[in-house]
Structure 1
Amino acid sequence: MRKLSKYALLGVFFAMTTLAFGQDAEKKKKKSEKEPPHKGSIYLSPVPVIGANPAFGFIYGVGGSASWFMGEPQTTKISNALLGVAFTTKKQTIVTLKSTVYGEDNDFILLGDLRFLNSSQPTWGLGTGPQSAKLASNDFGFDDGTLTGNSEADMMEFTFFRFYETYLKKINDNGVYVGLGLHLDMFRNINDQLLRLDSVPPVITPYYAYNATYGFDQEKSTLMGISLNGVLDTRDNVNNPYVGRYAMASFKINPSFIGSDQTSTQLWLEYRDYFNFTEDHNNILAIWSYANLTVSGNLPYMNLPAIGWDQYSKSGEPYSQGRFRGQNLMFAGVEFRKHLFATKNNPKFFGAIVYANATTASGKDNGINLFEYVEPGYGAGVRININQKARTNVGIDYGWGNYGTSGLFLRLNENF
């Protein structure tokens, strides 16, 4: 495993910065609590990061949510940025910065996704269904083969850098936006640990077989693209919506002449909605669905549509990131959110959720089509409101799925 000393120093720097913001926020807390939200209001919520899931093991670090108004709250939605710096018992480093920024009077939206990972993930088979639980085969190809290895092993190490930024301009007062995005994904130093080409018979991983078939490098990949985007956004709050809906269509072009390993195109379709059963927003049914489709060409293996690789990495609970992957993937989830307890100073202090979702992915090389296999997930969690003006919640979820999957997830803000 690579030494993480320099990344640990980076993590300490971010932690100290985040804690400093938190201390400054605490000094101003009493004053800000008495002030109504206004242009320039900032709400900071630093929290420790503690959690566990099959891909990362035990996770520890620091995180923070910053919410602010770039215009008057009567005409401008609250913006939000989430920073996380985490380490894991499987010797991984994870640094993320995710943001949704609304300009004054909601004139524009900026969607940001910045990540650095010194990480590892199992190389699961493509598509959903029983064959996706097989980590390696004794045959070169994409058939079921013979299971080799441990389903909890970290088979593939890598470093990863992502820079996504999308600018959307408002074109009417009904919440419709159009715009462009720039997207860069770089995987480097990929070490496919389960691969054994010199054994008899050789042990072939799905990652190796895919790259050999489609002509990709086994140790690195680059995907760089430009997207054309349309968005409908009528949500009242990005952190914790009570009303409204969100829809997005994004067509991404990844030409080789600007840096992609191979030319390809992708389509992202997404929809979210929120239904209230009471006027006080204490009982909400929320739905979320998206389709991530490969329209033309071939994507690097790690850039194939996969669960948990959305902007905020919140799809697919209880499965670990990348557990289901394929040329095309669709996800749908429903969540019931209920307020339970209030305090004297916070009427939304404590709540709970139950959720269910389903994922399907295709693998054309092993003959798996969309909807041929659907993988369920379900679970429950609690919500603790740590900033009522920003509607910032800390969420703790536990879930179960197929193949003996279960996991604990710690969240800032709602899952969607």
Structure 2
Amino acid sequence: MRILRFWLGLLGGLLLAAPGWAQAPDSRPPLPTKDLGDLVKSILPHFAHPRRAQATADSAAQAADSLAPAPPSKPPRKPKSTSLVVLPAIAYTLEARLLATLTASVSFQRSEANLSAISTTLTYTQNQQLILAVNGPLWTRNNHSLWLADYRLLHYPQQTFGLGSDSHMSDALGMDYDLLRVHQSYYHRVGRTGPLYAGVGYFLDTRWNIETVNGRGEQIDVISGYRPGVSGRSTSSGLVLSVLRDSRDNQLRPAPGESYLFLAVRTNLQVLGSGANYRFYQFDGRRYFRAGPRGNVLAFWLYGDFAQGSAAPYLDLPATGWDTYSVTGRGYIQGRFRGTSLVYGEAEYRFNLTPSRVLGGVVFANGQSARNPDTGFGRVAPAGGAGIRLALSKKVGTYLAVDYAVGLEGSQGVFFNLGDVF
């Protein structure tokens, strides 16, 4: 309970006592003036633009001929409000080992609205994991309403380490299962203006072909004294009521002075197909502060997920890296810590490395604690690291994030994301 009181005290201090919680955001930092495409053009101008190179040669020839008039200059094109980024990659991660992934991200902005960004990812890994995921926010004009979606279809062999954050790497068990996730929520603004929204949604998580084996290759159906959802199949199906306060114009690149607060209750019901009746409670709070005159940002994040009772399936319990965008717990393998409750906090300093903002960097530290139903909350497991940010689109400020992080017991890895992690 002391750890729970510590985290809740930190939440109160960060989100409620911080001055200017309802203040207007600072002036938005300028978008990058260059992106990855500009870097390619500057390094390989003739290869990147053979037609432009030929046009340059033709212009030189024309200049030698006084009878040839110079071609009229074209008016500058208006910047586009829609950006498409397609990013194939080969990488190595803790949970997947070698992987090949294809990510397509579409970002656009309706009139007087926040940025909408839909990301689709297809991944196949050395561990024979197959992942298809679609997620992101869709804002209507003038931010009157918001649609949030998180759809996933997975075949997902993985390791699990039992319940609580006192577990060790040597506790690893093998799990294999298939997953269909359909999370969708609709939010409508409370009042005529302002960033406060009330939402309702339907969440479905259904898994089948669940198998768990110990280090001797024997199938088991209990982990850390917990039985639901360890073998066979499991379904969580329920309604979600939530409150959202989001002052960010662009979730991929939050600005100083902006903030985010999310509170939700998910009620899973047998009448909707759930295996049992149980609830999840969740909070998510984020603040962004100006850190110096160059547009640098100091960001804070506090996240909590709580299961009520002991009927929720094991794989639906709160766990590292199983938030909506799979970004909690840099420094640890996905699912490294799991419990009937999970509390997580992170701080990150974001800075520019070039005047054009095409390249930036971050340093970060995080900590998490998971609850074992028999022993309570365990240790706070720390992690930290650093990373780079490469501008992929100067139109809307989309960045490729590449981070290296380390945690306890030699845990370490490289982590990728489109946009800021939180």
Give yes or no for TM over 0.5.
yes
SS in 1 for 2:150: strand
Give the structure 2 partner of residue 389 of structure 1: 395
Q: For the residues of structure 2 that align with 1:335 and 1:205, how far apart are their CA atoms?
A: 40
TM-aligned CA distance change 1:227 to 1:50, over 3 Å: same
TM-aligned CA distance change 1:217 to 1:54, over 3 Å: closer
For 1:14-29, what aligned pairs fall within 5 Å after superposition?
none
Query: Which amino acid counterpart does residue 163 of structure 1 have in structure 2?
Result: V
Deviation at 1:50, TM superposition (A): 2.9
Q: For the residues of structure 1 that align with 2:217 and 2:123, how far apart are their CA atoms?
A: 34
Give the structure 2 partner of residue 19 of structure 1: none
Match of 2:300 among 284, 287, 290: 287
Deviation at 1:306, TM superposition (A): 0.6
Query: Which amino acid counterpart does residue 330 of structure 1 have in structure 2?
Result: V
Query: Does 2:66 align with 1:52?
Result: no
Deviation at 1:256, TM superposition (A): 1.2
Give the structure 2 partner of residue 185 of structure 1: 205
Alignment check: 8 A CA contact 2:211 2:230 kept = no
Deviation at 1:204, TM superposition (A): 5.1
TM-aligned CA distance change 1:412 to 1:324, over 3 Å: same
Alignment check: 8 A CA contact 1:379 1:397 kept = yes
1:220-267 per-residue CA deviation (whole Å, 9 max, x = no partner) reads 111011100100000121111113100000011001111111110110
Q: For the residues of structure 1 that align with 2:281 and 2:306, how far apart are their CA atoms?
A: 5
Query: Does 2:341 align with 1:328?
Result: yes
Name segments (4+ residues, structure 1) moved above 4 Å.
Answer: 195-198, 203-206
Match of 1:94 among 117, 120, 131: 131
Deviation at 1:53, TM superposition (A): 2.0
Percent sequence identity is: 29
Q: For the residues of structure 1 that align with 2:274 and 2:90, how far apart are their CA atoms?
A: 36
Give the structure 1 partner of residue 275 of structure 2: 261
Query: Does 2:102 align with 1:62?
Result: yes
Larger RCO, structure (CA 8 Å, separation 6 or more):
2
Alignment check: 8 A CA contact 1:222 1:259 kept = yes
Alignment check: 8 A CA contact 2:210 2:230 kept = no
Match of 1:79 among 90, 103, 116: 116
Deviation at 1:134, TM superposition (A): 4.3
TM-aligned CA distance change 1:51 to 1:254, over 3 Å: same
Alignment check: 8 A CA contact 2:163 2:224 kept = no
Alignment check: 8 A CA contact 1:290 1:332 kept = yes
Alignment check: 8 A CA contact 2:278 2:308 kept = yes
Q: For the residues of structure 1 that align with 2:222 and 2:417, how far apart are their CA atoms?
A: 31
Deviation at 1:49, TM superposition (A): 2.9
Query: Which amino acid counterpart does residue 280 of structure 2 have in structure 1?
Result: Q
Give the structure 2 partner of residue 373 of structure 1: 379
Query: Does 2:312 align with 1:307?
Result: no
Deviation at 1:64, TM superposition (A): 1.6
Query: Which amino acid counterpart does residue 396 of structure 2 have in structure 1?
Result: A
Alignment check: 8 A CA contact 2:244 2:261 kept = yes
TM-score, normalization: structure 2? 0.78
Query: Does 2:175 align with 1:175?
Result: no
Query: Does 2:235 align with 1:222?
Result: yes
Q: For the residues of structure 1 that align with 2:415 and 2:281, how far apart are their CA atoms?
A: 28
TM-aligned CA distance change 1:279 to 1:102, over 3 Å: farther
Q: For the residues of structure 2 that align with 1:87 and 1:395, how far apart are their CA atoms?
A: 20
Query: Does 2:175 align with 1:161?
Result: no
Q: For the residues of structure 2 that align with 1:94 and 1:49, how far apart are their CA atoms?
A: 14
Alignment check: 8 A CA contact 1:208 1:218 kept = no
Give the structure 2 partner of residue 34 of structure 1: 77
Q: For the residues of structure 1 that align with 2:217 and 2:290, how far apart are their CA atoms?
A: 56
Give the structure 2 partner of residue 144 of structure 1: none
SS in 1 for 2:253: coil
1:268-310 per-residue CA deviation (whole Å, 9 max, x = no partner) reads 01101111124552x1111111110113452100000111111
Q: Which protein has the larger Cα radius of gyration, Structure 1 or Structure 2? A: 2
Q: Structure 1: give runs of 5+ residues left out of the alignment.
A: 1-25, 136-150
Deviation at 1:171, TM superposition (A): 1.1
Give the structure 2 partner of residue 11 of structure 1: none
Match of 1:207 among 215, 223, 237: 223
- Count of residue correspondences: 350
Q: For the residues of structure 2 that align with 1:381 and 1:176, how far apart are their CA atoms?
A: 33
TM-aligned CA distance change 1:57 to 1:219, over 3 Å: same
Q: For the residues of structure 2 that align with 1:317 and 1:50, how far apart are their CA atoms?
A: 19
TM-aligned CA distance change 1:261 to 1:159, over 3 Å: same
Q: For the residues of structure 2 that align with 1:205 and 1:132, how far apart are their CA atoms?
A: 20
Q: Structure 2: give runs of 5+ residues left out of the alignment.
A: 1-47, 53-73
Q: For the residues of structure 2 that align with 1:295 and 1:287, how far apart are their CA atoms?
A: 27
1:312-332 per-residue CA deviation (whole Å, 9 max, x = no partner) reads 101111111111000010000
327-336 vs 85-94, which deviates more? 85-94
TM-aligned CA distance change 1:348 to 1:254, over 3 Å: same
Deviation at 1:404, TM superposition (A): 1.2
Q: For the residues of structure 2 that align with 1:66 and 1:279, how far apart are their CA atoms?
A: 31
Deviation at 1:358, TM superposition (A): 0.2
Give the structure 2 partner of residue 246 of structure 1: 260
Q: For the residues of structure 2 that align with 1:181 and 1:195, how far apart are their CA atoms?
A: 40
1:333-353 per-residue CA deviation (whole Å, 9 max, x = no partner) reads 0111110014xxxx2200011
1:19-69 per-residue CA deviation (whole Å, 9 max, x = no partner) reads xxxxxxx99xx99x93245xxx32101111332222111121211211012
Match of 2:83 among 18, 32, 43: 43
Alpha carbon RMSD of aligned pairs, Å?
A: 2.4
Deviation at 1:190, TM superposition (A): 1.4
Alignment check: 8 A CA contact 1:132 1:324 kept = no
SS in 2 for 1:271: strand
TM-score, normalization: structure 1? 0.79
50-59 vs 306-315, which deviates more? 50-59
